[in-house]
Amino acid sequence: MSDILLSRRVSLQWLGGAAMASAMPAFAQNSAQVAAPARRLVSLSGALTEVVYLLNAQSLLVGTDTTSLFPEAAQKTTKVGYVRQLSAEGLLSLKPDAVVGTSDAGPPVVLDQIRQAGVRVALVKAEHNWAEVQEKVKVVGRETGRVADAEKLLAQLDTQWSSVQAQVAKAQRKPRVLFVLAHSGSPQVAGRGTAANALIQYAGCVNAIDQFDGYKPLTAEAMASAAPEVIINTTQGIEALGGEQAFWKRPELALTPAFAKKALVTLEASHLLGFGPRLPTAVQALHMRSLQWVA
Amino acid sequence: MAASRWRTPAGRLSRSAALLLGAVLVLLAMVWGAASGAYAIAPAQLPGIVWDGLRGLLGGAVQQGPEHLVFLNIRLPRLLMGVAAGAGLGLAGALMQGLFRNPLADPGLIGVSSGAALAAGITIVLGGMYLPWLPRHLGSWALVVMAFGGGLAVTAVVYVLGQVQGTTRIGLMLLAGIAINALAGAGLGFLSFISTDEQLRNLQMWLLGSLGASRWSAVGLVGSAVALNTLAALALARPLNAIALGEAQANLLGVAVEKTKRRTVLVAALAVGAVTATTGIIGFIGLVAPHWVRLIAGPDHRVVLPGSALLGAALVVSADAVARTIVKPAELPLGVLTAFIGVPLFLAMLRQFRSKV
């Protein structure tokens, strides 16, 4: 929402600004230059980083954001920091010719400054759907000059996706599931408009929460009335709570149907919520495992 | 003796010596800030780049390289924003401590920061969906304009609540400030409850403060606001000196006490509002800078006010130089750093001078 707010840039370059801008016309031209593949690339999204590795373009990668944790090699790349608090000078110090990211990246002023410096900035809108994943593959293919490889990967992923979707469509039953994030304090559950919600629907499940948008804390009573049959969490979230046993000791959970069977499905966070090339396997895992609990 | 010209009988620096020292500190900080950054630019290149920039301003042909762009469009505006922000916060801190006659006062007391934060929160969380005219009419300035307006509006409320029959009761204003700050905090809490993940994180980042969004246009606005308010503040130095003796005494000395109070609040609110609206919350500069100035140059507002502006500028520029480089190529939020540096120093001072506070 604030992206909408801030992305409609009114370029009011006045006072010193006007003079400085006019002093540097050549930089403006640079940014309009069209597309030789990047030789130095920065990725601002875990999913896009995964695609870079799948397209075997990791030698181009000079920096990634803090969510680029997969594959493991990506963790050793230079980290440009948290994706909403980028530093223009820091990014430019890596001397990239292209930056790829999602619409989460910001602040917008910093992206403007990077563009002004002649760096291509390609942003994929985060919409939590399959088209977003396809777009990510296309963008990385284009930016790294591996368009043919990207198309091949895309065809593979599409096949994988349709077979997963067919499998999901055949299911007799839609388990009621609840995505819980409980790092500390009261657990936050995923409502509408979240990546978790989109994933739940792709996996042929019903989100037990459909009354609100985003992540909200939920009381024990509301948890009970939501009546989830299966709880979904990230492996990192469960670890942070001290393991599965400790998780089920949380008082809010005792009143849910899921509690009786200790029905818990966990996946690694970037796999579960990244909306990258591993989305088909995440959806399949979520589908199969939650169905097992209600069988 | 040359030294005695610079020292008052109490062993403190004289006014001109203190201000000279402040100016030197600002210059040193600026040189440090100009020479440091994630992007490697050899210090020897800097004079040439600045010279080219100046020639460009006058319409001459300019050399272009990535170093020119990074320095002239990113690092330099940020440096100047640091000077303006630090000066505004230091000045406002000194004004507040003078007005409340309390060394623990800071600009937050009159609600300007929490008002700005609340308005920023409203813009971030409700801006796109419920207040669609905001982005439509204000564009990328929506957040800045709203935060500035919010800061002033809340200050006005605190000021009015501090009035009894046309006179401003400072104690009452202090209590009103505390109450309104708490209310704004609750408002922010509510906003963060209804926000999406993304909005929450944007809000959090705003509350931590950063000079990262220093466009030239913003530097021009904040810089001129702070400069004007510094001039206005200097005219308040003598009346504030008189008020330090007590309001009754100040009245007897012929000082227009009410007018002074009103102007002090207005000048402080305008300075902090302009700074906070563009950078987010940068804490502790307004608290720490005036303290140090009083320690080395005594309590005369004719030195405390400009001195705090200079020291504030030096502190923010230095803190930002660290924020930009300590975790490069990423960047630490500035408000985190000023608190980390400011609070321990402040506590150390408290220990040292606890008999006097």
Q: How does residue B349 score in pLDDT terms, banded at 50, 70 and 90?
A: confident
Per the structure block, which two tokens stand in for B170?
């400072």
Q: How does residue A295 score in pLDDT terms, banded at 50, 70 and 90?
A: confident
B232 and B305 Cβ atoms separated by less than 8 Å: no
B209 and B138 Cβ atoms separated by less than 8 Å: no
Rounded-to-integer distance, Cα A144 and Cα A147, Å: 8
A184 and A158 Cβ atoms separated by less than 8 Å: no
Residue A6: the pLDDT is 33
Would the pTM of this model clear 0.90, i.e. be above it?
no
Weakest-pLDDT range from A29-43, B260-274, B307-321, B326-340 = A29-43
Residue A11: the pLDDT is 31
Q: How does residue A240 score in pLDDT terms, banded at 50, 70 and 90?
A: confident
Selected for mutation to probe chain B from A2, A8, A43 (highest B CB count within 10 Å) is: A2
Average pLDDT on B94-109 reads 90
Contacts of A132 (CB under 8 A, 6+ apart): A124, A125, A126, A275
Percent of chain B with pLDDT over 70: 96
Q: Read off φ and ψ for residue B225, nearest 5 degrees.
A: -60, -45
* Half-sphere exposure in the Cβ direction for B261 (13 Å, CA): 24
Q: How does residue B57 score in pLDDT terms, banded at 50, 70 and 90?
A: confident
A7 and A110 Cβ atoms separated by less than 8 Å: no
Question: Does A286 score more than 50 pLDDT?
Answer: yes
Weakest-pLDDT range from A195-199, B67-71, B341-345 = B341-345
Question: Does A169 score more than 90 pLDDT?
Answer: yes
Residue B151: the pLDDT is 96
Residue B3: the pLDDT is 54
Residue A104: the pLDDT is 87
Average pLDDT on A283-293 reads 96
Question: Does A34 score more than 60 pLDDT?
Answer: no
Residue A21: the pLDDT is 41
Residue A266: the pLDDT is 95
What is the three-state SS of chain B? CHHHHHECCCCCECHHHHHHHHHHHHHHHHHHHHHCCCCCCCHHHHHHHHHHHHHHHCCCCCCCCHHHHHHHHHHHHHHHHHHHHHHHHHHHHHHHHHHHCCCCCCHHHHCHHHHHHHHHHHHHHHCCCCCCHHHHHHHHHHHHHHHHHHHHHHHHHHHHHCEECCEECHHHHHHHHHHHHHHHHHHHHHHHHHCCHHHHHHHHHHHHCCCCCCCHHHHHHHHHHHHHHHHHHHCCHHHHHHHCCCHHHHHHCCCCHHHHHHHHHHHHHHHHHHHHHHHCCCCCHHHHHHHHHHHHHCCCHHHHHHHHHHHHHHHHHHHHHHHHHCCCCCCCCHHHHHHHHHHHHHHHHHHHCCCCC
Name the minimum distance, in Å, from the CA of B220 to any CA of chain A.
6
B134 contacts in chain A (CB < 8 Å): 5
- Out of B70, B127, B331, the one facing A5 most closely (by C-beta) is B127
Q: Between A and B, how many residue pairs show a Cβ–Cβ distance under 8 A?
A: 179
Average pLDDT on A124-132 reads 94
Rounded-to-integer distance, Cα B128 and Cα A3, Å: 9
Name the minimum distance, in Å, from the CA of A278 to any CA of chain B.
23
B75 contacts in chain A (CB < 8 Å): 89
A90 contacts in chain B (CB < 8 Å): 38-39, 324, 328-331
Average pLDDT on B192-202 reads 86
Does B40 contact A214 at a Cβ distance shorter than 8 Å? no
Contacts of B66 (CB under 8 A, 6+ apart): A92, A95, A117, A118, B39
Residue B19: the pLDDT is 94
Task: For residue A30, give the chain B residue with the closest CA.
Answer: B66
Percent of chain A with pLDDT over 70: 87
Does A94 contact B199 at a Cβ distance shorter than 8 Å? no
Does B202 contact A9 at a Cβ distance shorter than 8 Å? no
Weakest-pLDDT range from B166-175, B252-261, B344-353 = B344-353
Residue A137: the pLDDT is 97
Residue A29: the pLDDT is 38
Q: How does residue A35 score in pLDDT terms, banded at 50, 70 and 90?
A: low
Question: Does A230 score more than 90 pLDDT?
Answer: yes
Percent of chain A with pLDDT over 90: 67
Does B197 contact A193 at a Cβ distance shorter than 8 Å? no
Average pLDDT on A240-264 reads 91
pLDDT, tens digit, 9 for 90 and up, residues B222-236: 999 999 999 999 999
Average pLDDT on A6-13 reads 32
Question: Does B268 score more than 50 pLDDT?
Answer: yes
pLDDT, tens digit, 9 for 90 and up, residues A88-118: 999 999 999 999 999 989 888 899 999 989 9
Residue B62: the pLDDT is 67
Percent of chain B with pLDDT over 90: 65
Question: Does A2 score more than 80 pLDDT?
Answer: no
B141 against A229, higher pLDDT: A229
Average pLDDT on A251-274 reads 93
Of these ranges, A8-22, A213-227, B262-276, the one predicted with the greatest mean pLDDT is B262-276
Residue A184: the pLDDT is 67
Does A17 contact B216 at a Cβ distance shorter than 8 Å? yes
pLDDT, tens digit, 9 for 90 and up, residues B147-178: 999 999 999 999 999 999 989 999 999 999 99
Rounded-to-integer distance, Cα B149 and Cα B143, Å: 10
Q: ∠ CA B239-B112-B296 to the nearest 5 degrees?
A: 50
Average pLDDT on B194-207 reads 87
From edge to edge, which strands make up the β-sheet containing A98-102? A61-64, A41-43, A98-102, A120-124
Residue B353: the pLDDT is 66
Per the structure block, which two tokens stand in for B344?
């321990």
Q: How does residue B13 score in pLDDT terms, banded at 50, 70 and 90?
A: confident
Average pLDDT on B324-348 reads 87
Does A107 contact B329 at a Cβ distance shorter than 8 Å? no
Rounded-to-integer distance, Cα A55 and Cα B80, Å: 44
Beta bridge pairs of residue A176? A206
Question: Does B54 score more than 90 pLDDT?
Answer: no
